[in-house]
Amino acid sequence: MGRLSVDLCGIQLENPVIPASGTFGYGAEFCEWYDINLLGTFSFKGTTLEPRFGNPTPRIAECTAGMINAVGLQNPGVKKVIEEELPKLKSCFSKPVMANVSGFSVEEYAKTCALLDREPQVGWLEVNISCPNVHGGGMSFGTVPEAAAEVIAAVKKATTKPVIAKLSPNVTDITEIAKACEAAGADGVSLINTLLGMRIDLKTKRPVIANTMGGFSGPAIFPVALRMVWQVANAVKIPVIGMGGVSSAEDVIEMMLAGATAVEVGTANLIDPMACKKIIEDLPGVMDRYGIQNLKECIGGAHHG
């Protein structure tokens, strides 16, 4: 491994750049654009036990320095992902993939994760307890420490692979959720998921999104995400994956200085499918500019100055 490599929950990554769930499909789509093996890994589309059509349209609204989405976890269900999507991915991606999982009950989370845990290509289970776009699950588990801990504990009992809890920023104190997940056995945490936002159409005088509200993401949320990564890195001893508005190599290094071991890139992929490739290619030059020999040196570096 070279100067960009990091260790994420015992698995070596060639670099810390990870396309975020919901912005990279199941991976095979992006193989048409570039060799995705240059990524550290990627987190595939949020998957549930049963198929989901998702929310009604319109689901997307543009806004200054970002976007709002309320897709609603549309996916074909875990069985189809295992039978159809993972074989397609295997043909073009040779590294462990991060499986992103959501659910509407503790039992659903555990069952879905148990099925994916058996798949050799799955390296980590990213448990989404933070989605703001669905009712009766997702964020409702991620806003109360006890509920978050219950999900993580159940998943840990059902699986053998590293479990990463994906946290919501739509809480009073994100460190309390992170600490509860750590105590329940989480091997890592990823943050932040989207903030809750909305837009109103001045012509119709109605909300733009059919779901009224949705997840706000993009460069505008980067300072909030960075602050929360800093706080959580101070609060837990397990690895932190930072995300939220990351769109450049400089952003990646800033997240790592705040305490992130690896960094997910989300909305930037929707703007430019080549975003992660460009960020990885830019990293060595940015490291040289700031006198950084190895990226591992950056992790939490701003806490020690």
Q: How many CB atoms within 10 Å of residue 76?
A: 17
Out of 9, 113, 131, 276, which one is annotated catalytic? 131
Q: CA–CA distance from 167 to each of 75, 267, 294 (Å)?
A: 21, 17, 28
Q: CA–CA distance from 94 to each of 27, 43, 187 (Å)?
A: 12, 14, 23
Q: Is 92 a catalytic residue?
A: no
279 Cβ partners below 8 Å, 6+ apart?
Answer: 17, 247, 248, 249, 252, 265, 268
Question: What is the rounded distance in angstroms from the CA atom of residue 15 to the CA atom of residue 94?
Answer: 15
Question: What is the rounded distance in angstroms from the CA atom of residue 298 to the CA atom of residue 255?
Answer: 9
CA torsion, ordered 93, 94, 98, 103, to nearest 10 deg: 70
Q: Is residue 246 within 8 Å of residue 1, measured between CB atoms?
A: no
Tell me phi and psi for residue 206, to 5 degrees.
-130, 160
Question: What is the rounded distance in angstroms from the CA atom of residue 128 to the CA atom of residue 284?
Answer: 32
Query: What positions carry a catalytic annotation?
Result: 131
